[in-house]
């Protein structure tokens, strides 16, 4: 989500600070490949791989879904703790992951416990993610701003400051808002379609189809996000060139 083409006010700017023109947008600092690689590995390992492995291992050994989900949620907590100790800043990505693990655990206790009910509950979790995306459009920063910072920087102070400062550009704000809105609507639609199919198709079919829908939508959104970010970057460069010519 590399969008260095955009704009508005950074958290540190004063009211009388004039935002730079489109031709003065800062380039990203040199990234440390080692730091970026370590950040990616730790994030994926503690927020994705470890919770899944832990949940499956505990569930296979007779633990309830609620207990297994609750224990697997300890990994994002560990990631947040490590990030806080290392950077003195709480990682929003790990917090969101933890919130949804807790929601999943709570959802496993609600209502019936049939296979179809569990499939519908899974749909409810992705639907809640869609609602969260849309709700953050009313917050000071939309959700994709924090997800973008997680994956577009190497976690160092310089790259984090660079990403935060991009918020002062109107184009950058518009890009983050659009991305967040698209992800929110897409996951609400995905949840609705998957919940409806759970009542139409057999459980055996849905067990196969449900992951395909989940990861298919995720993959499509990732491809669209990459395309849209590059498109926004090209537009920003064209505006910068036009402004330079006018001057």
Q: What is the pLDDT at residue 89?
A: 60
Q: What is the pLDDT at residue 178?
A: 95
Q: What is the pLDDT at residue 15?
A: 38
- Whole-number Å distance between alpha carbons of 92 and 106: 21
Band the pLDDT of 138: cuts 50, 70, 90.
very high
Q: What is the pLDDT at residue 6?
A: 42
**Cβ within 8 Å of residue 75, ≥6 positions away:** 46, 47, 50, 51, 54
Give the model confidence (pLDDT) of 4-45 as tens digits: 444 343 344 433 434 444 434 455 555 555 555 666 677 677
Q: What is the pLDDT at residue 134?
A: 95
Give the model confidence (pLDDT) of 37-70 as tens digits: 666 677 677 767 787 788 788 878 888 766 776 6
**What's the mean pLDDT in 200-220?**
79
DSSP type of residue 18 = P
Q: How many CB atoms lie within 10 A of CB 238?
A: 12
Q: What is the pLDDT at residue 136?
A: 93
Q: What is the pLDDT at residue 84?
A: 65
Q: What is the pLDDT at residue 23?
A: 34
| Position with higher pLDDT, 163 vs 120 | 163
Q: What is the pLDDT at residue 186?
A: 95
Q: How many CB atoms lie within 10 A of CB 33?
A: 9
Give the model confidence (pLDDT) of 141-199 as tens digits: 999 998 888 777 766 778 788 888 889 888 889 999 999 999 999 999 999 998 888 88
Tokens of 136: 């953050």
Q: What is the pLDDT at residue 181?
A: 96
């Amino acid at each position: 989500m590399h969008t260095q083409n955009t704009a508005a006010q950074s958290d540190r700017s004063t009211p009388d600070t004039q935002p730079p023109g489109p031709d003065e947008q800062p380039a990203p600092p040199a990234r440390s490949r080692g730091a970026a690689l370590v950040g990616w590995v730790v994030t994926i390992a503690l927020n994705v791989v470890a919770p899944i492995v832990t949940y499956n291992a505990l569930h296979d050994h007779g633990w309830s879904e609620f207990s297994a989900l609750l224990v697997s949620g300890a990994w994002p907590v560990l990631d947040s703790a490590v990030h806080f100790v290392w950077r003195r800043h709480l990682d929003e990505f790990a917090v969101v992951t933890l919130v949804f693990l807790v929601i999943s655990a709570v959802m496993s206790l609600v209502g019936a416990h049939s296979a179809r009910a569990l499939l519908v509950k899974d749909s409810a979790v992705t639907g809640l993610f869609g609602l969260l995306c849309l709700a953050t459009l009313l917050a000071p920063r939309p959700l994709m701003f924090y997800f973008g910072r997680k994956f577009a920087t190497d976690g160092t102070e310089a790259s984090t400051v660079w990403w935060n400062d991009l918020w002062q550009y109107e184009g950058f704000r518009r890009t983050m808002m659009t991305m967040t809105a698209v992800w929110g609507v897409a996951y609400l639609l995905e949840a609705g379609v998957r919940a409806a199919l759970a009542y139409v198709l057999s459980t055996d079919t849905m067990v196969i189809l449900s992951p395909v829908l989940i990861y298919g939508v995720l993959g499509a959104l990732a491809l669209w996000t990459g395309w849209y970010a590059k498109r926004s970057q090209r537009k920003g460069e064209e505006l910068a060139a036009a402004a330079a010519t006018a001057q």
